């Protein structure tokens, strides 16, 4: 992030969210995934800031954001709760309508925002995911072995918390390099910042609660939308790693665009160079795609 960013903590009803703000123009909220923080956008945000007001947030339970208490239902860390919190953050900043781009876990918060807060979200970009209920419904041995956090972190406490606390560096390194991206993409200080989150027992518990919510509440909320016919009405752009699981695992169903069209009315998108962490591998290309989609000009077809 540049020296022109304004960093602050926004206090909302559920706790506190750390953000940075840069640029001028229409507001765009950028949300990270696991095991990252807002720092994943360090090279993308400055490129967008010439055209947009760019807000980069640490999700609830990550980075410098708070870790609200949870309960047996894990609802405090459902994407519904996290989405509502981000809408409240943006309202506190003076933005009643905005656009959102999320990667990985942040993309799951992003599309839930578009479903639950349709009047607030003008456009949504989801990076390297398909809907949560889709992931679970089509889970197989490839999924279990490749995306181990979904299964490991969702186990009942305290097992995953203790395992993560025992080797936070190993967890981060396996995630950063095991999903198609090179370790060289992550400078030492960035890697260290990601590990720092997992050195905090409070944050580790919060992250596990978020994965537990994904296995239960989030899946149920997606199913409820399917049953009721509730859909994303704003434009949605899906981008995904051209060499990753999203590009290949769902070919029989028509690929990620076909899956998103089951949930959203207006869908565009395509594969990107790089692995799962392509926004950090290829920030210029990622920023270009987001800027084109978020601009007033009609988005390119995909």
CB 108 within 8 A of CB 132: yes
Gyration radius of the chain over CA positions: 17
Catalytic residue list contains 104: yes
Residues in the chain, overall count? 302
Q: Which of 104, 218, 222, 225 is catalytic?
A: 104
Residue 29: Cβ-neighbour burial (10 angstroms; 0-12, 13-18, 19+): buried
Bridge partner list, 101? 30, 125
Can you give 40-108 as a three-state secondary structure string? HHCCCHHHHCCCCEEEEECCCCCCCCCCCCCCCCCHHHCHHHHHHHHHHHHHHCCCCCEEEEEECHHHH
Q: How far is CA 301 from CA 4, 179, 210, 235, 264, in A?
A: 34, 27, 33, 12, 15
The one catalytic residue in 32, 38, 74, 276 is 276
Q: In terms of C-beta density within 10 A (0-12 exposed, 13-18 middle, 19 or more buried), how is residue 122 classed?
A: middle
Alpha-carbon torsion (166, 169, 175, 178), positive or negative: negative
**What 8-state DSSP symbol labels residue 121?**
E
Q: What are phi and psi of 7, to 5 degrees?
A: -100, 140
Report the distance separating Cα 126 and Cα 193, nearest Å.
Answer: 24
Q: What are 285's strand-pairing partners?
A: none
List, by residue number, the catalytic residues: 104, 276
């Amino acid at each position: 992030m540049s020296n022109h960013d304004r960093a602050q903590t926004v206090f909302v009803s559920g706790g506190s969210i750390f953000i940075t703000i840069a640029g001028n123009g229409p507001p765009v909220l950028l949300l990270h995934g696991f095991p990252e923080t807002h720092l994943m956008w360090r090279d993308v945000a400055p490129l967008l800031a010439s055209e947009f007001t760019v807000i980069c947030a640490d999700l609830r339970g990550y980075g410098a954001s708070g870790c609200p208490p949870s309960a047996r239902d894990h609802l405090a860390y459902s994407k519904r709760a996290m989405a509502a919190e981000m809408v409240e953050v943006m309202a506190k900043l003076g933005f009643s309508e905005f656009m959102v781009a999320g990667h990985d876990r942040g993309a799951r918060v992003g599309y839930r925002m578009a479903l639950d807060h349709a009047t607030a979200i003008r456009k949504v970009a989801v990076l390297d995911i398909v809907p949560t209920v889709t992931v679970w419904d089509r889970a197989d041995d490839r999924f279990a072995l490749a995306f181990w956090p979904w299964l490991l972190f969702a186990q009942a406490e305290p097992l995953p918390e203790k395992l993560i606390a025992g080797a936070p560096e190993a967890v981060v390194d396996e995630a950063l390099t095991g999903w198609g991206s090179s370790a060289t993409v992550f400078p030492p200080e960035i890697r260290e910042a990601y590990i720092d989150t997992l050195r905090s027992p409070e944050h580790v518990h919060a992250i596990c609660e978020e994965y537990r919510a994904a296995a239960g509440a989030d899946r149920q909320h997606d199913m409820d939308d399917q049953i009721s016919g509730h859909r994303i009405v704003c434009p949605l752009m899906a981008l995904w790693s051209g060499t990753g699981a999203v590009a290949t695992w769902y070919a029989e169903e028509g690929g990620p665009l076909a899956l998103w069209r089951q949930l959203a009315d207006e869908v565009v998108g395509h594969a990107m160079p790089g692995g799962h962490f392509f926004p950090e591998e290829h920030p210029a290309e990622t920023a270009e795609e987001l800027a084109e989609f978020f601009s007033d000009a009609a988005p390119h077809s995909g």
